[in-house]
């Protein structure tokens, strides 16, 4: 899920957040976030320099860097240096990268051209398709978001989408189980099994409507939230 109010920032080698834009601006006013800090802009779905974000008022004397990154230093032959040639530097922002890191803590991108990076759009499609298919595969639908979470554990947007889908699917499992138990206990009567059947049909309709709406939102690049779900995984 892509929340338009979920801002992150890089600090001490790790990402912090999510916070709303008002809180991000407050941290900038306090000097916690500087113009050179990398922040994750949910509208662009990318890590950018805080100085490029409109609406932030910087304290007097705060240094604003140029909006374009400096050119890579030339190599011995006089041509531009290959950023990927230095394993201790990010090939995009040239920030320091520990040898074991898969993603740069400053810009959030893969540190190696060969590193696998799960696309957030792919994560959205897998998670929302899992909700759409949940009436037919039941608890097996939890596998898709769980895999997405494990593959994209370094990307806040992917983790947020996986958590949101898991919360929705777990809610569906709880309601389905409650309906089954209710119908089984009241099986000697007519009304309880009928109510249980109607609840299950309502859950199927919910999965189809919400799953399709989520996939459409992903195709349009719009944010999406699953309605009427328990927030079991914070």
Residue 134 has pLDDT above 60, yes or no: yes
| DSSP summary character for residue 142 | G
Cα dihedral 24/108/169/212 (nearest 10): 90
What pLDDT, on the 0 to 100 scale, is given for residue 173? Answer: 92
Q: Strand runs (DSSP E) across the chain, as ranges?
A: 7-11, 14-19, 38-41, 46-49
Asked whether the predicted pLDDT for residue 72 surpasses 50, the reply is no
Question: What would the mean pLDDT of 108-126 be, rounded to a whole number?
Answer: 70
pLDDT tens-digit readout, 217-230: 888 888 888 999 99
Chain segment 97-106, per-residue pLDDT in tens: 666 666 666 6
Check pLDDT > 50 for residue 32: yes
Q: Which residue has the tokens 């699953």?
A: 226
Range ranked top by mean pLDDT from 44-53, 89-98, 112-121? 44-53
Q: Provide φ and ψ at 47, rounded to 5°.
A: -85, 130
Q: Look up residue 13 and give its two tokens.
A: 């080698």
Measure the CA–CA gap between 169 and 81, rounded to whole angstroms.
48
Percentage of the chain lying above the pLDDT 70 cut: 73
> What's the token pair of residue 172?
């569906």
CA–CA gap between residue 174 and residue 58 (Å, rounded): 48
> Which position has the higher pLDDT, 79 or 183?
183
Structural tokens at position 130: 């899992």
3-class state of residue 224 by DSSP: coil
From CA 24, how far away is CA 113, in angstroms rounded? 31
Taking alpha carbons only, the member of 152, 149, 150, 145 closest to residue 169 is 145
Higher pLDDT, 134 or 85: 134
Distance CA 10, CA 233 (A): 23
CA distance 35 to 52: 8
């Amino acid at each position: 899920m892509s929340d338009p109010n979920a801002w992150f920032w890089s600090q001490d080698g790790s990402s912090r957040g999510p916070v709303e834009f008002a809180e991000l601006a407050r941290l900038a006013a306090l000097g916690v976030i500087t113009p050179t800090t990398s922040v994750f802009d949910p509208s662009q779905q990318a890590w950018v320099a805080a100085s490029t974000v409109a609406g932030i008022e910087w304290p007097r004397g705060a240094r604003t860097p140029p909006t374009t990154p400096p050119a890579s230093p030339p190599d011995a032959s006089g041509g531009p240096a290959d950023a990927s040639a230095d394993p201790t530097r990010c090939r995009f922002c040239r920030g320091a990268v520990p040898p074991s890191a898969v993603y740069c803590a400053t810009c959030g991108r893969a540190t190696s051209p060969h590193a696998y990076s799960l696309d957030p759009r792919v994560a959205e499609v897998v998670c929302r398709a899992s909700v759409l298919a949940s009436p037919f595969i039941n608890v097996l639908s939890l596998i898709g978001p769980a895999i997405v979470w494990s593959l994209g554990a370094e990307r806040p947007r992917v983790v947020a989408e996986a958590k949101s889908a898991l919360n929705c699917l777990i809610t569906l499992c709880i309601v389905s189980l409650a309906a089954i138990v209710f119908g089984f206990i009241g099986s000697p009567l007519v009304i309880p099994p009928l109510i249980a059947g109607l609840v299950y049909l309502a859950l199927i309709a919910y999965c189809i409507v919400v799953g399709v709406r989520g996939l459409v939102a992903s195709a349009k690049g719009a944010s999406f939230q699953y309605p009427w779900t328990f927030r079991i995984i914070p």
